[in-house]
């Protein structure tokens, strides 16, 4: 069975030494988040996921979820683990104190989610979706809805979902067919519970939603669905979608879950991976629903969930990369095959040397580590910005931090999940034939990771978001939030003899990124295909440079470490590996961008 | 005959505006009104009005205001008397009777009537009066609207007609269109028909106000006010007046009368004071929200109530980008609306030739200049196709006008051997003749390809060894490609043994150039591409200096806005020939930077050159600096060529052309004048005050700050500018050369562009078109 140990040293380094998370305690509302508390949380979270969640991962994959008599049963142990998770306070870690949460910084939520994703990605989908639903109600719901639902969701007694997809509409939500009708006078709703009226006008929602993660399960007594549907007078297309809250069971005035609300599970999907996560077809049959947010502005409310969810998916990619790397390194240390090419046997007392003496195996392991640790740095960087956006007293700082988060969200989601899949594949490669055998649990990482490139906006959509929305917004203002600090970082590093070897190649690639950004801005104005056709290459190049800057920051911080230790030396060496061996991929992407859309568009549809 | 004095009778909106424009042309004008004191009040009002009817304070002084009853004899000096009193025949006739006794013999009298036939106006007048009489119909506002419709009667003297037409063309800058004595002449006959047609179509097809304007605006080549926005602008109450007078004079079977209908909503709006922008609102209004912010509301044509204006979404608008016909053929209601309005309006216009005008080019010119249509009706017919239009008219059960029938299978306009030919009403082809002294780049372009071109600029041969440099980039924004073509042009003309002798920088866009491509610059700044920005700054400095030092004369010929970099090009030309409607200024401070393509250096040198001269600023290192500092730090823009001269952007020898169409010819003539014995200007060294001057300017800015007139970033920009203009670290015992000043400009620019406050200003300008106060 794969092993897992939470990467506490690296996390402490990133939080305390690289990204100044210690200063978060100075922000109003975060006073409790002292360095000591942060360390304590890291340790406790590590222990919890190592001992409670990790052991359930492989069995969960084997058992999967089952649907019988209209209800879904999660794999053995999941329900108990959920209770333990909730009781230990992990679920409400970053939730609003007003509704029972602990109100700790978001960056700690990211840390927790990374660990959970490493240990058990399937399990992590249940709390993940609940947090998304909680945020949407928090930001767009009426006071009555907040009072009724948020405490239950934060407490983990109820859970949440996001219901977007329908059979005919995935990425293009303008095709949504689910619809609501106002509940006519005299219709008592379902339960006849008058108190429900206090929550605002009621509708009856009808439609079918598919691919609903955590759509039904046995972890909580009630499930709160957030559903996209059309009001009767809705304009056609994407501008006619509204967001509704539909509980699986209608709540009683006392807060307990009451009668079923016409939401049934049609079937569950049999998937390539994350078998322990229940993916449902949900049928809504005149279910009582409440409007969340403004009529026809459902997409806006939905994006509240989506943006947070996209970052969370990036964290999932990181989590998989971490556990895959750990197990590849462990195997490469133990597995004895062949002798090293130079300098005689490394372990003369054994029949062969460990795998990790071989250059190509080292290449794979270094690649895995460089992607993983770079991705973690990027996530912590964004997480700290997210907290500044939420709590900083200066509105200008809040705005700028928010712009940085908005810019980096598609990069983090797509780039890190792509790398997560690559790292999971490399783990199989390091394990060789044994990695391909199910019992060893290594191939599960690749299968589980694969969904992260698809859900919450496929990675192609992330690239379009980056070039189509983020790049051009206010003539590139969002870009400023990355490029200006990066340019300053590079200038400082270039002047530092200890970092110049890193700064030089990175500055070159940064220059390429600047060039192609202006190129896309100019060409894309005249022809949207020019921007869209190179969006993938642009996001890749952006991600490579962003991770490069993250590595530069880590190398600089490692250089400040006193006394210099093995950890610092490893960071510096991996940073060099990144600049020399991985970053150059950017040249290929830059060249592909310069070639423009012609190569993609000058191919008739019939020629496929 | 020469027109050297003028008089205007009637000081209403039109009369006072006409008087102002005659004064703009440099004439002394007597302005009289029947209401005592009204003319004087009108002049006072015009001094402060915006947009200003007057081009300069001097122009205002040329107007002598008086009262009709007492001051009538003062018109005795006038060579041209323009009557612009109330649109009532008896009032006009009574005035003419009085004029017979006081006017100078041989002076020309014209009426600004828009509706009354000439024959009625001269009824009862002497033969001499009738011979001197014609109709000159101006459009509102007279300074800015370029159309002048001129109607001569059977007894009007040919030389009187010629004198007024020529004067209006050269001195007032008007496009003079000869009309026949028919109701509404050309522009209002077709224009108000178009308005009624659009209203009818909107009501019948159920379009909202916003939807109708979204189609009958830009997609049809019409200003974005569309039809309802235009009614708000001119006043809702004007329409029924015009319509009533047309209905009274046109035969009942004229399509104008046939399509006319009562519209109770309009009557109610006018009665309730909703007369448009001058009243409580019209089809649109600005309503205040509870929080004090303003919201644009639109009238619901069905209910008559207002609701927040919505941005219409019609596929036809997108489809219309492929052409006028694609717009009219789109099946949605926007397309059906466009089709109906186009078919009826274009069909009507075609049926009116030769009844209202002998040539189609005149009709087109009238609609372009009088209603600001991008294309006249016959140009539009060429876009949709004469045959298509004829088919549509038949499909609607109408009769195809003979002019359209004769055009079958042909275009109204064609280019033959590089010349623009138009179809005469009899079906023959005749060249479109430009008046003598008119040179249009658009005509030059028909004759063949440019001498050189790239993605942002072209170089044209305009004859006699003169080349014309044209910007072709979007909004004529200046970019690296323009600088590159300037380099190549300088090499080309400067090379030994070539055919070229001089260069004119000119284009026929709405604006000469509003400066560097800010969007690109902001993008570059946002991605921290500082090297690229500095390269662009340095390249601009180098190229503009090369232009100035080139071994041939260069004349800048702006029209419209010449701002920022657009102004800096002009400052490096040997001479400027400016259209009177040129708005010139160094506005860089508005976006948080300093002029850095030699603008600071040039303006400083210009002021230094005039320091100590009679009427100029005092001699010494500080006065030129202070004057340039004031102009640049406050981003002052001349609201006319005359004002640009006062600000120092135009020098004593620079010329002003009133007629847009004559600008290129005048600029070319100016360039040719300079060819013989041309020597490029010598480099200028200046004595500047240095840090003490910078301190003095700082105190000046401080006084503004204490009055609360500055924002925090103004101080930063002003200090950077002060450092440049005072010569940096120099002192009055040294001299500063051009390269040193350019280096100071560049450094200040690069420092400012790296500040967030400057980038916020640039972004705000791009998003809103207005400067950010931060």
Place of tokens 């492929």: B322
What are B618-653's pLDDT values in tens digits?
Answer: 888 899 999 999 999 999 999 999 999 999 999 989
- For residue B526, the chain A residues in CB contact (below 8 A) are 475-477, 479-480, 483-484
Instruction: List the single residue in B with minimal CA-CA distance to A490.
Output: B528
Domains of chain B with CATH codes: 6-179 (3.40.50.720), 187-414 (1.10.1040.50), 442-587+637-675 (3.90.226.10), 589-633+682-774 (no CATH)
| Chain mean pLDDT for chain A | 95
Residue B568 · residue B586 · CB < 8 Å: yes
The pTM for the full model equals 0.88
Question: For testing the chain A interface, which of B312, B480, B519, B528 should be mutated: the one with the most A CBs within 10 Å?
Answer: B528
3-state secondary structure of A193: coil
Q: Kindly state the average pLDDT of the residues B82-111.
A: 95
Work out whether the CA dihedral A539, A544, A548, A554 comes out positive or negative. positive
Q: What is the CATH number of domain A20-64+73-137?
A: 1.10.540.10
What are A317-362's pLDDT values in tens digits?
Answer: 999 999 999 999 999 999 999 999 999 999 999 999 999 999 999 9
Contacts of B622 (CB under 8 A, 6+ apart): B689, B693, B696
Fold topology of A157-298: Butyryl-CoA Dehydrogenase, subunit A; domain 2 (2.40.110)
Residue B126 CB neighbour total at 10 angstroms: 12
- For residue A296, the chain B residues in CB contact (below 8 A) are none
Q: Kindly state the average pLDDT of the residues B595-605.
A: 97
pLDDT at A188: 59
Residue A433 · residue A308 · CB < 8 Å: no
d(CA B569, CA B505): 9
pLDDT at B722: 97
Q: Kindly state the average pLDDT of the residues B304-333.
A: 93
| Residues paired with B583 in a beta bridge | B561
What are B458-509's pLDDT values in tens digits?
Answer: 999 999 999 999 999 999 999 999 999 999 999 999 998 888 999 999 999 9
pLDDT at B258 over 80: yes
pLDDT at A553 over 70: yes
What are A369-411's pLDDT values in tens digits?
Answer: 999 999 999 999 999 999 999 999 999 999 999 999 999 999 9
By DSSP bridging, strand B108-111 and strand B133-138 are parallel
Question: For testing the chain B interface, which of A466, A471, A480, A513 should be mutated: the one with the most B CBs within 10 Å?
Answer: A480
DSSP states of B518-531:
HHHHHHHHHTT-HH
Q: How confident is the model at residue A526 (pLDDT cuts 50, 70, 90)?
A: confident
pLDDT at A195 over 60: no
* CA angle (A228, A234, A236) in 5-degree steps: 90
- B543-546 contact pairs (CB < 8 A, 24+): B543/B483, B543/B486, B543/B487, B543/B490, B544/B486, B544/B568, B544/B569, B544/B572, B544/B597, B544/B598, B545/B572, B545/B598, B545/B738, B545/B742, B546/B486, B546/B487, B546/B490
- For residue B759, the chain A residues in CB contact (below 8 A) are 477, 480
Contacts of B414 (CB under 8 A, 6+ apart): B420, B421, B429
Q: Kindly state the average pLDDT of the residues A457-477.
A: 95
Q: Do B523 and A513 touch (CB under 8 A)?
A: no
How far separated are the first and last CA of chain B, in Å rounded? Answer: 57
d(CA B31, CA B35): 12
pLDDT at A171: 87
Q: Do A514 and B766 touch (CB under 8 A)?
A: no
Q: Kindly state the average pLDDT of the residues A507-526.
A: 94
The length of chain B is: 774
What are B27-43's pLDDT values in tens digits?
Answer: 999 999 999 999 999 99
Q: Kindly state the average pLDDT of the residues A537-542.
A: 98
A397 inside 8 A of chain B by CB? no
d(CA A255, CA A422): 46
pLDDT at B543 over 60: yes
Q: Do A514 and B529 touch (CB under 8 A)?
A: yes
d(CA B61, CA B130): 32
DSSP states of A517-543:
HHHHHHHHHH-HHHHHHTHHHHHHHHH
Q: How confident is the model at residue B293 (pLDDT cuts 50, 70, 90)?
A: confident
Question: For testing the chain B interface, which of A407, A473, A475, A510 should be mutated: the one with the most B CBs within 10 Å?
Answer: A475
Nearest to A128 by CA among A273, A377, A379, A305: A305
- For residue B530, the chain A residues in CB contact (below 8 A) are 487
What are A428-466's pLDDT values in tens digits?
Answer: 999 999 999 999 999 999 999 999 999 999 999 999 999
d(CA A25, CA A213): 35
Nearest to B30 by CA among B84, B101, B81, B69: B81
Which of B523, B530, B532 has its CB closest to that of A475?
A: B523
Residue B33 · residue B104 · CB < 8 Å: no
How far A194 CA sits from the closest chain B CA (Å)?
35
Q: Is A322 a catalytic residue?
A: no
Instruction: List the single residue in B with minimal CA-CA distance to A239.
Output: B313
Nearest to B259 by CA among B275, B246, B274: B246
pLDDT at A184 over 80: no
B759 inside 8 A of chain A by CB? yes
Residue B649 · residue B585 · CB < 8 Å: yes
A236 inside 8 A of chain B by CB? no
Nearest to B101 by CA among B124, B76, B80, B123: B76
Q: How confident is the model at residue A185 (pLDDT cuts 50, 70, 90)?
A: low
The percentage of chain A sitting over the pLDDT mark of 70, rounded to a whole number, equals 98
| Residues paired with A208 in a beta bridge | A283
pLDDT at A186: 63
Question: Which of the following is catalytic: A456, A489, A530, A606?
Answer: A456
Q: Do B527 and A483 touch (CB under 8 A)?
A: yes
Place of tokens 């016909």: B325
Instruction: List the single residue in A with minimal CA-CA distance to B756.
Output: A480
How far B760 CA sits from the closest chain A CA (Å)?
9
What are B659-668's pLDDT values in tens digits?
Answer: 999 999 999 9
Copy the structure tokens of residue A185. Answer: 């006078």
pLDDT at A190 over 80: no
pLDDT at A194: 54
Question: For testing the chain A interface, which of B477, B519, B526 should be mutated: the one with the most A CBs within 10 Å?
Answer: B526
pLDDT at B45 over 60: yes
Instruction: List the single residue in A with minimal CA-CA distance to B531.
Output: A511
Phi and psi torsions of A203, nearest 5°: -125, 165
| Chain mean pLDDT for chain B | 95
- For residue B520, the chain A residues in CB contact (below 8 A) are 518, 521-522
How far separated are the first and last CA of chain A, in Å rounded? Answer: 44
pLDDT at A162: 94
Work out whether the CA dihedral A469, A475, A478, A482 comes out positive or negative. positive
d(CA B95, CA A274): 95
What are A257-292's pLDDT values in tens digits?
Answer: 889 999 999 999 999 999 999 999 999 999 999 999
Residue A284 · residue A265 · CB < 8 Å: no
């Amino acid at each position: 069975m794969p092993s897992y140990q939470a990467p506490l040293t690296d996390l402490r380094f990133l939080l305390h030494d690289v990204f100044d998370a210690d200063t978060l305690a100075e922000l109003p509302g975060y006073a409790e988040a002292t360095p000591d508390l942060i360390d304590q949380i890291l340790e406790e979270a590590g222990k919890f996921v190592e001992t409670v969640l990790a052991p359930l991962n492989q069995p969960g994959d084997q058992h999967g979820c089952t649907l019988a008599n209209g209800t879904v049963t999660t794999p053995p142990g999941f329900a108990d683990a959920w209770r333990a998770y909730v009781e230990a306070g992990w679920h409400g870690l970053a939730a609003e104190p007003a509704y029972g949460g602990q109100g700790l910084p978001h960056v700690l939520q990211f840390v927790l989610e990374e660990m959970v994703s490493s240990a058990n990605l399937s399990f992590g989908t249940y709390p993940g979706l609940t947090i998304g639903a909680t945020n949407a109600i928090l930001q767009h719901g009426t006071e009555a809805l907040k009072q009724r639902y948020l405490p239950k969701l934060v407490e983990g007694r109820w859970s949440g979902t996001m219901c977007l997809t329908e059979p005919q509409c995935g990425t293009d939500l303008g095709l949504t067919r689910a619809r609501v009708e106002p509940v006519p006078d005299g219709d008592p709703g379902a339960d006849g519970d008058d108190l429900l009226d206090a929550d605002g006008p009621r509708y009856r929602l009808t439609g079918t939603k598919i691919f609903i993660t955590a759509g039904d399960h046995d972890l909580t007594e009630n499930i709160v669905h957030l559903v996209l549907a059309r009001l009767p007078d809705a304009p056609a297309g994407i501008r006619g979608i509204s967001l509704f809250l539909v509980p699986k069971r209608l709540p009683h005035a006392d807060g307990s879950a009451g009668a079923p609300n016409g939401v049934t599970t049609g079937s569950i999907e049999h998937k390539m991976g994350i078998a322990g996560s229940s993916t449902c077809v949900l049928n809504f049959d005149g279910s009582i629903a409440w409007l969340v947010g403004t009529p026809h502005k459902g997409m806006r409310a939905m994006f509240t969930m989506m943006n947070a969810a996209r970052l969370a998916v990036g964290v999932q990619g990181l989590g998989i990369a971490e556990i895959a790397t750990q197990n590849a390194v462990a195997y490469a240390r133990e597995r004895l095959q062949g002798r090293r090419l130079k300098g005689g046997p490394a372990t003369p007392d054994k029949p062969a040397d460990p795998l990790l003496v071989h250059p190509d195996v080292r290449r794979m392991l270094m690649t895995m580590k460089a992607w993983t640790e770079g991705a973690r740095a990027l996530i912590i960087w964004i997480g700290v910005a997210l907290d500044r956006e939420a709590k900083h007293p200066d509105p200008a700082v809040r705005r700028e931090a928010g712009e940085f988060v908005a810019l980096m969200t598609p990069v983090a989601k797509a780039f890190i999940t792509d790398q997560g899949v690559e790292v999971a594949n490399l783990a199989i490669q390091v394990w060789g034939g044994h990695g391909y055998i199910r019992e060893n649990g290594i191939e599960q990482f690749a299968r589980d990771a694969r969904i992260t490139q698809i859900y919450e906006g496929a990675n192609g959509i992330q690239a379009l978001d980056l070039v189509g929305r983020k790049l051009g917004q206010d003539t590139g203002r969002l870009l400023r939030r990355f490029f200006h600090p990066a340019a300053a970082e590079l200038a400082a590093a270039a002047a530092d003899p200890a970092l110049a070897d890193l700064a030089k190649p990175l500055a070159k690639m940064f220059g390429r990124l600047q060039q192609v950004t202006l190129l896309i801005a100019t060409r894309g104005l005249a022809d949207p295909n020019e921007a869209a056709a190179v969006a993938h290459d642009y996001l890749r190049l952006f991600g490579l440079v962003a991770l490069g800057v993250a590595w530069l920051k880590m190398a600089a911080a490692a250089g400040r470490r006193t006394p210099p230790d093995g950890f610092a030396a490893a960071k510096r060496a991996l940073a060099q590996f990144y600049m020399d061996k991985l970053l150059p991929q950017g040249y290929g992407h830059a060249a592909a961008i310069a070639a423009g859309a012609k190569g993609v568009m000058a191919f008739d549809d019939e020629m496929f | 005959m020469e027109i050297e004095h003028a008089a205007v009778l009637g000081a209403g909106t039109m009369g006072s505006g006409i008087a102002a424009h005659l004064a703009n042309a440099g004439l002394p004008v007597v302005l009289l009104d029947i209401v005592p004191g009204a003319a004087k009040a009108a002049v006072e009002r015009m001094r402060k009005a915006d947009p200003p009817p007057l081009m300069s304070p001097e122009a205002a002084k040329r107007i002598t205001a008086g009262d009709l009853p007492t001051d009538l004899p003062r018109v005795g000096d006038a060579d041209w008397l323009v009557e612009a009193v109330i649109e009532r025949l008896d009032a006009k006739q009574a005035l003419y009777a009085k004029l017979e006794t006081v006017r100078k013999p041989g002076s020309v009298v014209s009426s600004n009537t828009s509706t009354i036939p000439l024959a009625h106006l001269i009824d009862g007048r002497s033969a001499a009066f009738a011979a001197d009489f014609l109709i000159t119909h101006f459009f509102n506002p007279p300074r800015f609207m370029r159309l002048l419709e001129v109607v001569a009667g059977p007894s009007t003297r040919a030389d009187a007609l010629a004198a007024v037409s020529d004067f209006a063309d050269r001195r007032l800058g008007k496009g003079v269109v000869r009309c026949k004595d028919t109701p509404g002449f050309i522009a209002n006959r077709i224009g108000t028909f178009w308005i009624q047609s659009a209203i009818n179509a909107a009501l019948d097809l159920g379009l909202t106000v916003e939807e109708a304007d979204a189609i009958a605006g830009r997609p049809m080549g019409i200003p974005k006010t569309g039809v309802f926005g235009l009614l708000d602008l001119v006043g809702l109450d004007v329409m029924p007046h015009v319509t009533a007078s047309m209905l009274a004079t046109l035969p009942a079977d004229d399509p104008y009368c046939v399509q006319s209908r009562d519209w109770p909503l309009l009557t109610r709006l006018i009665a309730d004071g909703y007369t448009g922008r001058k009243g409580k609102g019209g089809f649109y209004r600005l309503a205040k929200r509870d929080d004090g912010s303003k919201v644009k509301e639109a009238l619901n044509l069905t209910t008559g109530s207002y609701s927040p204006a919505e941005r219409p979404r019609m596929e036809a608008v997108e489809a219309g980008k492929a052409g006028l016909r694609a717009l009219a053929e789109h099946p949605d209601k926007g397309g059906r609306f466009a089709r109906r309005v186009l078919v009826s309006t274009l069909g009507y216009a075609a049926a009116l030739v030769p009844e209202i005008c002998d040539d189609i080019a005149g009709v087109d010119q009238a609609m372009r200049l009088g209603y600001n249509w991008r294309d006249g009706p016959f140009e539009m017919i060429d876009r949709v196709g004469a045959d298509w239009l004829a088919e549509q008219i038949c499909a609607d059960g109408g009769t195809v006008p003979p002019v359209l029938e004769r055009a079958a299978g042909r275009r109204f306009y064609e280019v033959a051997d590089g010349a623009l030919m138009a179809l005469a009403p009899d079906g023959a082809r005749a060249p479109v003749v430009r008046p003598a002294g008119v040179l249009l780049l658009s005509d030059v372009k028909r004759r063949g390809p440019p001498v050189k071109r790239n993605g942002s600029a072209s170089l044209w041969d305009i004859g006699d060894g003169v080349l014309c440099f044209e910007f072709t980039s979007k909004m004529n924004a200046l970019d690296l490609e323009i600088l590159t073509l300037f380099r190549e042009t300088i090499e080309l003309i400067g090379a030994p043994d070539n055919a070229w002798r001089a260069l004119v920088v000119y284009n026929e866009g709405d604006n000469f150039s509003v400066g560097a491509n800010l969007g690109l610059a902001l993008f570059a700044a946002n991605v921290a591409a500082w090297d690229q920005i500095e390269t662009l700054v340095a390249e601009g400095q180098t190229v503009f200096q090369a232009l100035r030092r080139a071994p041939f004369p260069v004349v800048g010929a702006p029209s419209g806005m010449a701002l920022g970099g657009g102004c800096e090009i002009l400052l490096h030309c040997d001479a400027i020939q400016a259209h009177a409607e040129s708005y010139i200024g160094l506005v860089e401070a508005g976006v948080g930077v300093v002029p850095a393509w030699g603008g600071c250096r040039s303006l400083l040198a210009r002021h230094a050159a005039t320091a100590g001269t009679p009427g100029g600023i005092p001699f010494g290192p500080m006065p030129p600096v202070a004057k340039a500092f004031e102009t640049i730090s406050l981003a002052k823009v001349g609201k006319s060529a005359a004002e640009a001269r006062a600000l120092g952007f135009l020098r004593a020898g620079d010329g002003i052309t009133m007629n847009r169409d004559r600008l290129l010819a005048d600029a070319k003539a100016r360039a040719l004048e300079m060819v013989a014995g041309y020597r490029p200007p010598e480099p200028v060294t200046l004595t500047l005050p240095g840090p003490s001057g910078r301190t003095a300017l700082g105190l000046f800015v401080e006084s503004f700050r204490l009055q609360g007139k500055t924002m925090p970033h103004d101080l930063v920009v002003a200090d950077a500018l002060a450092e440049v203009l005072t010569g940096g670290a120099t002192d009055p015992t040294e001299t500063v050369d051009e390269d040193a000043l350019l280096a100071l400009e560049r450094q200040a620019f690069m420092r400012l562009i790296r500040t967030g406050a400057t980038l916020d200003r640039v972004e705000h300008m791009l998003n809103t078109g207005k400067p950010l106060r931060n």
